[in-house]
Structure formats: structure tokens, C-alpha cells
Structure 1
């Protein structure tokens, strides 16, 4: 009887775990090109580096409509990942680290990885 109760309890916990909302993470970059030709190899390769980590573009190169402050530094890029760990694993991956110097040579950038709000479980 205790065994059945323990199994039922564990099954209930697994159901709760699946109902817990996932917390996405975002890579956010502000990029101001100083050499538009030099950034092209980076742009052509970057998506192939984050797709294996479940990343996808939310914003790619959007021109910001600045409402307050001194404005954004160039164009914006936002890549969504399912977790902060996935975003950090991508950023630290050999494939991405290999192309970062291309971005550095091609312009000025500020980049962030930030955890988002939990998605609502349905």
C-alpha cells in the first residue's frame, strides 16, 4: 500500500513538473557596423551556430524607434532560447566563439544574455 501511495505521489509530482512554466532566455545585441562588408561572413554563419541550441531569431537587424534616452547603438538582434543554460552554452560554444572576432572587427557591439519571464503553462 505504501508503495502504491509513493508511486501515485511521484506521478503527481511529474505532472506538476510538466505544468511548471519554462523560463526562456534572450541574447540581445546592439550592433553598429563600421564595415558593412566585414560583417557579412558573421551574418551568414551565426544562425547555424545557435540552431543546435534551440535558438531562433525574434528580432534581426531591426532599426529601433527610440522614444527616450540617447538611443540604441545601431541595429538590434534578439535570439530566444528555451533556458539561460542553452543561451550560455551557445555563446560559449566553439562554433560561436570562432565567429565572434568577425563581429568585433566589423563594428561596435554590446551584447547581453538575460532571463525572460516564465511562459504561461496551458
Structure 2
């Protein structure tokens, strides 16, 4: 199942939208797909800005899927580091600006 869509907003701007309903849990497939997207965008000389957003109202990227912990813990990136650390390091050092378009959930009122 594909979890991300990449849209060309302009020649230099891309919008990456995450959708893993109902609450955007992060699993091994999510990190694998996002890793490939970050690699592709990092090597595209036209891309200068990437805006990350969510297609699931009220959720950006939720916590890791507990059922997928063994697979998540076993995953490593090209550097041999855990995949999440590798992915975030590559995104932070990519030759582009990354922006998280986050919409917060309304506060829950408790009686």
C-alpha cells in the first residue's frame, strides 16, 4: 500500500502528503517509502523546497505501530544506523528546505 504522494507544486517545490488512515501510524513500510522519497528529492537539482503534510485530518505522523516494532527495530539505513535516525539525518542535510504543514487536532474537553 502506497502511503505517500508527491506533487509538483512548481518546478522547485514539491508537496509530500502522508496517508495511513485512520491515524497515520508509522510502520516499516512508511519509513522505507519515505526514505526512497527523501533520496529522490535530495538528488533532484530542481527541488529547493519540500512541504510535508497529511491527508488524514487531525494527524500528521502518529506514533510507531506497536505491531511493527520488530521490523522497525531491525531496519537500518545506508549508514548502518537505525532507519529513523538515518532518514532524519539525510533529510536534515539534504540540499533543500523541508517544511512540516501541521494542523493540530481540536482540544478535547473533559468534564
Same fold (TM over 0.5): no
**Greater radius of gyration (CA):** 1
Higher strand share: 1
Which has the bigger relative contact order, CA under 8 A and spacing at least 6? 1
Higher helix share: 1
